[in-house]
Amino acid sequence: MNVNTKSLCRFLWALGLSWLMAASALAQDHLNIQISGVGASQIPVTIAGFANDTGTPQKITDIIKADLARTGLFRLVGTDAVVPESASIDYKQWKANGADALVTGTVQKTANGKIDVRYRLYDLGKASQLSALSMVAPANMTRVTAHKIADDIYEKLTGIKGMFSTRIAYVVKSGREYRLEIADSDGEGRQVALRSSEPIISPSWSPDGTRVAYVSFEAKKPVVYVQNLVTRQRTVVANYKGNNSAPAWSPDGSKLAVALSKNGYTQIYTVNSSGGGLQQLTNTRSINTEPQFSADGRWIYFTSDRSGGPQIYRIGVNGGEAKRVTFAGSYNISPRVSPDGKSLAYISRRGGGYQLYLMDLENGQEQRLSDTSRDESPSFSPNGQFIMYATGAGSRGVLSVVSVDGRVKQRLTMKAADVREPSWGPFMK
């Protein structure tokens, strides 16, 4: 299957007329997570029970444990003990139980119905406190509060910023309905951003996490919209003759890279995120699509069949000569640049299957990360440690997450529904 029928067609699907932001998480068809594999070395951690944790809608300790377990980087050393945040710590005793770190905490209800969550993280080997946080939040923000604590634990123990309190976007097909959904990074807290009887594709988060760009076919042709998730306002940013597809944000949020066929062949353009300011970057008698900005905003990576088959190229943000990036294999599509700009994730067809690969952009060395054969739409976590992508399981689409070293894998499935087109949101301010 060539790039015109395989990768471009996904960008030409439709998006419906209706827009509905749910007030609370959907109760049915929740995402289920299966985890396999562990990191090269695991950090043993004890998460003690938080005092008064049973009074919250969901136990904070359970959410923290689930967050850390999904990474494969931590070995949870169990305890039934409830240890308040203010408790005196016997470092030798806790260390003797086999853990290198200890988490304690307290949950209190305030007079206005909010929750006051306090936690401490201890280094048992050094007999010292590593971190402490105190957060007051509405009770319905229990999950967010727990994710932020897990983020802090992750960062203090690994030196890498945690991503549990970030969000993901993806498309669900259930029966004849398509939904663009927004959820926590663990698939919980789901909200519907868009409903349609037509397909929805290509969600792309703005750098500040308040807007999503996508392609809609409601005008009987593909049009690129930007939708504000706070105000619900939609803005048309690309509605030119022919196909308008594949939106991707610049790092500063001021522009979108898009693929347009306004003059015949599909070419790469940039456009202001509010519309207007169109600038053409490529001009060849070939298909150029799937643009993605580099982390520093200087380059745009894209897919082109100018060499005969689809390969990934790079061009300056103001145009110029394009440079080919992928050479191994005859079919490479869907480039995604890591947040640090050092790696490139993409889908490669090898031996008849479509699989997720990761390339070191400095030396060109590549690694296959997936063991599935119908992969598409990769998206990096904002800390660059994981990649979410869509793949097939039987007749349905599912989401998978893999660590960038390929050791830890997760699969997110939804009962009786097809899940595709994932996009991992940015760190929230």
For 63, phi then psi, to 5°, come to -65, -45
Angle of helix 142-158 relative to helix 60-71, nearest 10 degrees, comes to 40
- The C-alpha atoms of residue 82 and residue 64 are separated, in whole angstroms, by 15
CA separation for the pair 133, 160 (Å, rounded): 18
The shares of helix, strand and coil residues in the chain, as percent rounded to the nearest 5, are 10, 45, 45
Residue 196: how many CA atoms within 13 Å on its side-chain side? 22
Whole-number percent of the chain with pLDDT over 70: 92
Which tokens go with 178? 């398509």
Give 42-158's CATH code, choosing from 3.40.50.1000, 1.10.3860.10, 3.40.50.10070, 3.40.50.1370: 3.40.50.10070
Q: How confident is the model at residue 412 (pLDDT cuts 50, 70, 90)?
A: confident
Q: Region 371-388: what's the mean pLDDT?
A: 96
> pLDDT tens-digit profile of 17-70?
222 233 333 444 566 767 777 777 899 999 999 999 987 778 999 999 999 999
Looking at residue 30, its pLDDT comes to 60
**13 or 236: which leads in pLDDT:** 236
Q: What pLDDT, on the 0 to 100 scale, is given for residue 29?
A: 58
Question: CATH 3.40.50.10070: which residues of the chain?
Answer: 42-158
Provide the pLDDT for residue 14. 23
Q: In percent, how much of the chain has pLDDT > 90?
A: 73
Please give the angle made by the CA atoms of 389, 393 and 396, to the nearest 5 degrees.
90
- Tell me the pLDDT tens digit for each residue of 81-97: 999 999 999 999 999 99
Stretch 113-137: mean pLDDT, rounded? 95
Cβ distance 286 to 266 under 8 Å? Answer: no
Query: 188-200, pLDDT tens digit by residue?
Result: 989 998 888 887 8
Tokens found for residue 376: 């598409």
pLDDT over 60 at 286, yes or no: yes
Average pLDDT over residues 257-285: 96
130 vs 351, residue with greater confidence: 130
Give pLDDT tens digits for 199-256: 789 999 999 999 999 998 888 888 999 999 988 898 999 999 999 999 999 999 999 9
- Buried residues in 358-371 as b, exposed as e (16+ CB within 10 A): bbebeeeebeebbe
Q: What is the mean pLDDT of the chain?
A: 89
Of 25-39, 59-73, 268-282, 302-316, give the lowest mean pLDDT range: 25-39
Residues of the chain with CATH 2.120.10.30: 3-16+166-424
Under the banding of pLDDT at 50, 70 and 90, the label for residue 311 is very high
- Judged by average pLDDT, the poorest of 52-61, 117-126, 364-373 is 52-61
Q: Is the predicted pLDDT of residue 273 greater than 60, yes or no?
A: yes
CATH superfamily of 3-16+166-424: TolB, C-terminal domain (2.120.10.30)
| Range with lowest mean pLDDT among 71-80, 216-225, 232-241, 350-359 | 216-225
Which comes out higher in pLDDT, residue 356 or 111?
356
| 69, 155, 342 from 118: Cα distances, Å | 21, 17, 37
- Whole-angstrom CA distances from 305 to 244, 289, 339 are 18, 9, 26
Instruction: Report the pLDDT value the prediction gives residue 320, as an integer from 0 to 100.
Output: 95
